[in-house]
Amino acid sequence: MPRKRFALSLFWRTFILLALLLAAGIFAWLQTFRALEFEPRAVQSAQQIASLVNLSRAGLRYADAINRVTLIKTLSDQESIRLKPREPSDRFEPFEVSGLTRTISQELRSRLGPATIVASAVNGTPGLWVGFQIERDNYWLQADPNRVGPLTGRTWFVWVGIALLATLLGSAVIARLINQPLKELSFAASRIREGEYDSVLDESMITREIREVNQGFNRMARELAKVDEDRAVMLAGISHDLRTPLARLRLEAEMSVVDEEAKRNIAADIDQLDAIIDKFMDYARPGEVELVPVHVSSVVDKAISQFRDTKRIRITAKLPIDTKVMADETELGRVLTNLFENARRYGRNTYTGITNVDVSYTRAGSWVILSVRDHGPGVAPEKLPQLTTPFFRGDAARTAATGAGLGLAIVDKALQRMSGDFELANAPGGGLVAHIKLKRAP
């Protein structure tokens, strides 16, 4: 068997593509922002530090000893700036460790002089240290390193996370808006497939293409409803027009034909024509059914009671009396009758000429599966999918095929109307088995 490919719904496909596109746009803008923000931020940070150094230098230069101590204490308390003399024995670590810090250091030297020292730690104390001179005295100014630091990873994470969350929500909304008309169209198409033509799509959509599709679909649904109505009227008329001359033929045969064998043959032919008309009418029956809890065993017993000739067919049913399914009792009876009739015609035992049919059931979760099996020759595997096609017979050479070729097609269509499933297969020990799958009644 070919491998089953992974498939996405149209909503998820649209959602993923939109999310990837918007996420790629966010990261592109992020890189652009970082590149454009790098140099202005470095210059601005260097200007702030240089201003602090110049103000501190001016204050210390023009203050006496007492006011200088007060100034240093005030800067430390209010601006988080620490001033201390720079000793020749001080050990410091260079500040230039990245592109941003190198740019800041260069900008500070260009504003404060080439002798300016910028360090990230002095004597093991971390911070942003700037060494400058006041006349011949050397000083350190320690500022808060957050003044010149880049945005932290946590900040980037928060903002990028918010942007991605907004992207996902926006993609979901956009995908839903795009796919909602297609979902409605798919639902309406499935109802038409089930024979319901009353689905009407919105013809006032703003999008021109969707509006035209909805208008065309509604027009198609109206035409199909008209065709279906005309077909039902035509078949009803054909049934009435054919049965009238058939009734006259039957009466004429009873009154005019003397030969009893000829009379029986004529009556059999008329019965056959009448049965064929019934098959046509069953196949053309409207698709509206009312699903109610139905006892399976009672419906099977009623269908079996129609086949009393044990010289031609023998039916054995093993069903519990409490099993109920959601179905239309008349439709389900018609399904079983057609299956028994099909088995009677084509499932005869080669040696005895009698059709033996077994009816059994299994439960699969919320479903009940009825199995109707005969013990005849079965059907070629390649012809099994075609057995439910109207007017198709599994063996074109069978002269005993006196039906219309609609029995299994009627079964399949009836089960579709009852939201069930129908499957045909060759039984392991020989014969054909039909599986009827219906929802179990609560």
Query: What integer pLDDT is reported at residue 2 of this predicted model?
Result: 45
Tokens representing 418 are: 């009852």
Confidence of residue 261 (pLDDT cuts 50, 70, 90): confident
Query: Average pLDDT, stretch 172-201?
Result: 78
Residue 405 exposed, middle or buried by CB count within 10 Å (0-12, 13-18, 19+) = middle
Share of residues in the chain with pLDDT > 90 (%): 10
Asked if 83 and 58 count as a contact pair (C-beta separation under 8 A), the reply is no
Task: Find where tokens 């601006």 sit.
Answer: 79
Query: What integer pLDDT is reported at residue 400 of this predicted model?
Result: 45
Asked if 258 and 227 count as a contact pair (C-beta separation under 8 A), the reply is no
Query: What integer pLDDT is reported at residue 80 of this predicted model?
Result: 63
- Using one digit for the tens of pLDDT, what is the confidence trace for 71-80? 767 766 666 6
User: Smallest Cα–Cα separation from 50: which of 123, 99, 2, 109?
Assistant: 109
Confidence of residue 368 (pLDDT cuts 50, 70, 90): very high
Q: Print the SS3 string covering the chain.
A: CCCCCCCCCHHHHHHHHHHHHHHHHHHHHHHHHHHHHHHHHHHHHHHHHHHHHHHHHHHHHCCCHHHHHHHHHHHHHHCCCEEEECCCCCCEEECCCCHHHHHHHHHHHHHHCCCCEEEEEECCEEEEEEEEEECCEEEEEEECHHHCCCCCHHHHHHHHHHHHHHHHHHHHHHHHHHHHHHHHHHHHHHHHHCCCCCCCCCCCCCCHHHHHHHHHHHHHHHHHHHHHHHHHHHHHHHHHHHHHHHHHHHHHHHHHCCCHHHHHHHHHHHHHHHHHHHHHHHHCCCCCCCCEEEEHHHHHHHHHCCCCCCCCEEEEECCCCCCEEEECHHHHHHHHHHHHHHHHHHCCCCCCCCEEEEEEEEEECCEEEEEEEECCCCCCHHHHHHCCCCCCCCCCCCCCCCCCCCHHHHHHHHHHHCCCEEEEEECCCCCEEEEEEEEECC
Which residue has better confidence, 77 or 182? Answer: 182
Tokens representing 300 are: 């099977």
Query: What integer pLDDT is reported at residue 4 of this predicted model?
Result: 47
Confidence of residue 14 (pLDDT cuts 50, 70, 90): confident
Which residue has better confidence, 66 or 188? Answer: 188
Compute the C-alpha angle 84/86/87, nearest 5°.
Answer: 130
Maximum pairwise Cα distance, the chain: 151
Partners of residue 363 on adjacent β-strands: 368
- Using one digit for the tens of pLDDT, what is the confidence trace for 318-329? 888 888 999 988
Please name the residues in contact with 222: beta carbons below 8 A apart, sequence gap of 6 or more.
197
Query: What integer pLDDT is reported at residue 405 of this predicted model?
Result: 64
Q: Which amino acid is at 273?
A: L
Asked if 262 and 256 count as a contact pair (C-beta separation under 8 A), the reply is no
* Mean pLDDT (the chain, rounded): 78
Please name the residues in contact with 316: beta carbons below 8 A apart, sequence gap of 6 or more.
356, 357, 358, 359
CA gap 78, 69 in Å, rounded = 14
- Using one digit for the tens of pLDDT, what is the confidence trace for 312-362? 899 999 888 888 999 988 888 888 988 998 888 888 887 788 899 999 989
User: Smallest Cα–Cα separation from 283: which of 405, 437, 420, 434?
Assistant: 405
Query: What integer pLDDT is reported at residue 326 of this predicted model?
Result: 92
Tokens representing 136 are: 């011949």
Confidence of residue 284 (pLDDT cuts 50, 70, 90): low
Task: Find where tokens 């993609």 sit.
Answer: 171
Query: Average pLDDT, stretch 228-240?
Result: 70
Tokens representing 414 are: 């009836």
Sheet holding 313-317, edge to edge: 313-317, 355-364, 367-374, 432-439, 421-426
Asked if 405 and 391 count as a contact pair (C-beta separation under 8 A), the reply is yes
Please name the residues in contact with 2: beta carbons below 8 A apart, sequence gap of 6 or more.
none
- Using one digit for the tens of pLDDT, what is the confidence trace for 142-151? 876 665 655 5
Query: What integer pLDDT is reported at residue 435 of this predicted model?
Result: 93
Confidence of residue 162 (pLDDT cuts 50, 70, 90): confident
- Using one digit for the tens of pLDDT, what is the confidence trace for 376-423? 888 888 888 888 877 666 554 343 445 556 778 878 888 888 889 999
Query: What integer pLDDT is reported at residue 434 of this predicted model?
Result: 92
Q: Does the reported pTM lie above 0.75?
A: no
Query: What integer pLDDT is reported at residue 315 of this predicted model?
Result: 92
Max mean pLDDT range (19-28, 57-66, 108-117, 364-373): 364-373
User: Smallest Cα–Cα separation from 128: which of 34, 72, 53, 44?
Assistant: 53
- Using one digit for the tens of pLDDT, what is the confidence trace for 285-296? 655 677 899 999
